[in-house]
Structures are given as structure tokens and as C-alpha cells.
């Protein structure tokens, strides 16, 4: 009887240990949003914490307050943002054993940069919800900032000088502005996206680090009016030299030359392509529960 009780206590301890060992989650908001908006990231954080008891959820804040966090999503150099986040993650004791990551809109591609540049602590799974992995261009139709005047100014700035040094250094959206009719300008002058997409050369460390992911999940919104072209959310883009016909990831040179390891990841079953009806970042709680939460458990 004593032996049975001891065995039962061991099993109970193991079960309790498993229950307490939920993999931490890091989330990064998109343009014009903040870490703790109760209608966006705050809402997502509560859903995850309710569905996965005991999980540690870190919603990234860039700046000392929510206003700075929102403003930095427009005006803080993306490379500096990634560097700041890498520092936050490295200093968080909850994450030392590894974490899952979920990025929304530009937060998805920024977290991919974290995976490529900062392997410690290790990112286990990356979920990109509407992230523009081949960039976005010709649109910016629904800038979500508080001021329409600000949005209009950003549109004019991008149209006139997206690839000038001053704009690249200080306007986040210019740093993933990908003009298919100005590919050479993009490759030479994009200070963020062309780097993490290996447009100017192969950084083997980037490739190795990204390939270490267990799963790279990409969500595309099938009726997206924010990202142009929407297939960028699945790593596709316009066929070279024009801006009408799009091609999937598998037909891009990024894939055929396997500059980022995506071909190997695809063949290993590590890439997951999900489509959801609706406009940019429009999804239901039921869809989130049934489709994305399984990647966190």
C-alpha cells in the first residue's frame, strides 16, 4: 500500500509539473497599436491566459508608456526595436527555457527578425498573423493611427521617398516598403526587410536560427485590404518586373535559392500556411481558439 501511495504521489507530481510547464508566449502588436489595448493585445493576452492556465504571456511594449509604444510603431527604427526586444527577452527569467511567439501584422515580421538575430532564449514556434514577410507597397489604404493627418503624411512620405536614408531611418513602414518596379533601390536601400530576407547576401546565422523553429505558422487574411499584395503574408510577392501578377513563396528566388532555409523547412513540414476569411486582423475568438491555440500547447 505504501508503495502504491508513493507511486501515486510521483504521478501526481509529474502531472502538476506538466500543468505548470506551459510554454511562455511573447506577443508583438502591429502598427498603431500598443501592448495592452483591451480591444486588441490585452484581449488576446486574456484569451490565452484563460485557455492555458498558468501560462506566462509577455505583450511587448516598446517605450516607457503606451503612447510611446504606439508612436514607436511608426517612428522607431525597426532594427532598434528588434534590438530592444532581444534585450527584453534575454533579461526575462520566465523565458530562459524557450518561448512561443505570436506577432500581429508588422509584429509578425519583427518577431521573425528576432528569431533570426537573437537565438537566446530560443524561440520554439512562430505564429505570424498577417505579417508582411515580403513587404507591402502601393497601398497603406487604412492607416490605423489616431490621426488621419498623420496617416496622410505617412502616405505622401512613402510615395515620395521611401528609399531615402532619412525616411528609412525614421519611418518604420518605409523599412518594409517593397516596390516591385524598383527592386534594385529596395535591395540597396531597405535597411530592414532586405536584410532579414537575405537580399544582399547570405547570412548563414540568420538561416540557421530560423530553421531551428519547430513550426513557422503564417496566417493570411483572404480579404485583406491593408497589405498589398496580401500573398506577402504567405511569403509570396509580385512576379519580378511588374505589379499585377503574384507568385507563391515556392516560385520566388528566396525559396528556389533557399536563401533563408524556407525550402528545407517546407520539406520538413515546418511551414504552416493558414487562410482566414476577413479583412486585415479580423478574426473570431472561435477561430483563434481552434486554429492558433493548438500551436501554443
pLDDT of residue 180: 87
Range of the domain at 177: 25-295
Residue ranges of the chain with pLDDT lower than 50?
1-19, 141, 145-147
pLDDT of residue 254: 96
User: Is residue 13 situated within a structural domain?
Assistant: no
CA–CA gap between residue 234 and residue 124 (Å, rounded): 19
pLDDT of residue 290: 97
Give CA torsion, residues 52, 58, 60, 64, to 10 deg.
140
> What is the pTM (predicted TM-score) of this model?
0.89
Q: Which positions are annotated as active-site residues?
A: 105, 224, 280
State the CATH number of the domain containing residue 111. 3.40.50.1820
Distances 32 to 104, 115, 277 between C-alpha atoms, Å = 11, 23, 23
CA–CA gap between residue 44 and residue 50 (Å, rounded): 10
User: Is residue 11 situated within a structural domain?
Assistant: no
pLDDT of residue 151: 63
- Give ∠ CA 105-264-199 in degrees, rounded to 5: 55
User: Is residue 273 situated within a structural domain?
Assistant: yes
Q: Are 99 and 121 in contact (CB under 8 A)?
A: yes
pLDDT of residue 13: 43
pLDDT of residue 228: 86
pLDDT of residue 281: 93
Count of the separate structural domains present in the chain: 1
Q: Are 219 and 121 in contact (CB under 8 A)?
A: no
User: Is residue 15 situated within a structural domain?
Assistant: no
User: Is residue 3 situated within a structural domain?
Assistant: no
pLDDT of residue 226: 84
pLDDT of residue 158: 73
Q: pLDDT tens, 107-161? A: 999 999 999 999 999 999 999 999 999 998 655 545 554 445 666 667 677 767 8
User: Is residue 155 situated within a structural domain?
Assistant: yes
Amino acid at each position: 500500500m505504501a508503495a502504491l501511495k508513493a507511486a501515486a504521489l510521483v504521478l501526481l507530481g509529474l502531472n502538476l509539473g506538466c500543468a505548470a510547464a506551459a510554454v511562455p508566449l511573447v506577443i508583438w502588436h502591429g502598427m498603431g497599436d500598443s501592448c495592452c489595448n483591451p480591444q486588441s493585445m490585452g484581449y488576446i493576452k486574456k484569451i490565452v491566459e484563460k485557455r492555458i492556465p498558468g501560462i506566462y504571456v509577455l505583450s511587448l511594449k516598446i517605450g516607457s508608456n503606451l503612447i510611446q509604444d504606439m508612436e514607436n510603431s511608426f517612428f522607431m527604427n525597426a532594427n532598434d526595436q528588434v534590438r530592444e526586444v532581444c534585450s527584453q527577452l534575454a533579461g526575462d527569467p520566465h523565458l530562459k527555457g524557450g518561448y512561443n511567439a505570436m506577432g500581429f501584422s508588422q509584429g509578425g515580421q519583427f518577431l521573425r527578425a528576432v528569431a533570426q538575430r537573437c537565438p537566446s532564449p530560443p524561440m520554439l514556434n512562430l505564429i505570424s498573423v498577417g505579417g508582411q514577410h515580403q513587404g507591402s507597397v502601393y497601398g497603406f489604404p487604412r492607416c490605423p493611427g489616431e490621426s488621419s493627418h498623420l496617416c496622410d503624411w505617412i502616405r505622401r512620405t512613402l510615395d515620395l521617398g521611401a528609399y531615402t536614408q532619412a525616411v528609412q531611418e525614421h519611418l518604420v513602414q518605409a523599412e518594409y516598403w517593397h516596390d516591385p518596379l524598383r527592386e534594385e533601390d529596395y535591395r540597396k536601400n531597405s535597411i530592414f526587410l532586405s536584410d532579414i530576407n537575405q537580399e544582399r547576401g547570405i547570412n548563414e546565422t540568420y538561416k540557421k536560427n530560423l530553421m531551428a523553429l519547430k513550426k513557422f505558422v503564417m496566417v493570411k487574411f483572404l480579404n485583406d485590404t491593408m497589405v498589398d499584395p496580401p500573398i506577402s503574408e504567405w511569403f509570396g510577392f509580385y512576379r519580378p518586373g511588374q505589379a499585377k501578377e503574384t507568385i507563391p513563396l515556392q516560385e520566388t528566388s528566396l525559396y528556389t535559392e533557399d536563401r533563408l532555409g524556407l525550402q528545407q523547412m517546407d520539406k520538413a513540414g515546418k511551414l504552416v500556411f493558414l487562410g482566414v476569411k476577413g479583412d486585415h486582423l479580423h478574426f473570431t475568438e472561435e477561430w483563434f481558439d481552434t486554429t492558433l491555440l493548438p500551436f501554443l500547447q
